[in-house]
Structure 1
C-alpha cells in the first residue's frame, strides 16, 4: 500500500525585525492586521497572537535556541561591530566564544564537547540574515591606526585651511594629485566558458613575475597628464624589450634596478612632464 505523502509546513520567511515592526504598527494602530501582514510578509495570526499577548514578541518557530534570543541579538550586533573595525571573527573563533559564553551562563547545550558545530552556525546565520560570511580586504595595521575620527578630522581641517589660503576652492583645475602603483606583467586570465562543475580550470599565463611602476597624475577637474612608467633594468637598453611606441602618447619611460620609484625619478618626472603640462 502506498503511503500518502504529506507536505511539510513551510517555515517562516520573515525576519525577527519585520515581525517586531508589524506587531508595533498594529499596536499603535498605524496599520490593520491584514495591511501589516501584506507590508512585512508576516502571517496575520502570527501578528494577532503577539498583539493579544498569547505569544511573546521574540518567540520563534521550532525548538528554542540554546542561547536566549536577546543575547543572540546582542552577539550578532557585536559581530558586525567587530568586523567593521577590522577584527572580524571566523567561524571557529565564534564557536569558541559561544562555548565560553554557554559555560559562563551555565546553559545546557547539545553541543559535542560543549562547542557548537556547523549545524548551529547555519541556524544562527538563518536567524540573523543580516550576517554573512565575507572575505575581508587586507588593511595594514599602520593604516588602520591612522583611520580614526581625530586624525581624519585634522587632515580635512588642514586641507580646508590650505585651499582657503591658496584660494583654490573654485579652481579645481589647479588641484593635482599624484600616486604611484605597481602593475604586474603577468596578465589575469579572463573568464571562459567551460563545463559546469569542473573544479580545476587552468588558464595559461607567462612565467614572468616582474612588475612595472606607474606614476599617474590627475586634477580635481578630471584632467590627466601623461604618466611615467618605470621598468626594471640597469641601463637604458632595458627599455628596448618593450613596445613603448604603442603606449600612451607622451608617456615618460625610465628604468630602475627594481622598478621602484625613487626621489630622483620623481623629480625628473616633475620637471619634464608635470611642469611642462601645467604651463603649456
Structure 2
C-alpha cells in the first residue's frame, strides 16, 4: 500500500479555492480538482475547522521560547562566544528539559534534532552559519582599541549582573596557544552565512 501524502497543496491554492467557491465561480468538486486539494481538507477549511498556519508536527518549543533562544545566541556572539550547531542543539535540549517541555529531542544523546535546527534557522533569518577566518592577533581588526574597550564594557556588565566574587573569576595565559589559528568549526552568527555544518 502506497504511503499517504499530506499537505501536497499550497496555502495560496487553498485561498483561491475558498474564494472562488464562496463566490460561486466554481463548485466544490471543481475546486478540489483544479487546485489539487483533498475534499475532506477543503471541507474543513470551508467550515472554519482548520485554523492552523503551519503543517506537520507541532514545534517542541513555543515561538516565545525560541525567540529567547535566538536572542541568547546573539548575546553570546556579542560576547565573542559563538556556538557551533552541535553546542546549540545541546543547549536547546537543556532548555527544553529545564522547562519540562514535552519535546521529542534525543534524550539518550541529550541533543535537539537536526530537523528542528533547520526549521529554527529558517524561521530566524537574522541568524546564519559561518566559519571564522584565520587571523593574526597582531593584525586582527577585531582587537583594536575600540574592540578591547567593548570587551571590557561587556565584562563589567556581566560582573555587575551576576555579582561574581573573586574565587569565581579565573585568569588564563597563552601558554601553548597559537595566536594565529585556523578554526575548524562553524558557528552561529548574525552575519551572512557561507554554508557548512558541524
TM-score normalised by structure 1 residue count:
0.31
Task: Determine which structure has more spread, i.e. the larger CA radius of gyration.
Answer: 1
| More strand per residue | 1
Bigger relative contact order (CA 8 A; separation at least 6):
2
TM-score normalised by structure 2 residue count:
0.42
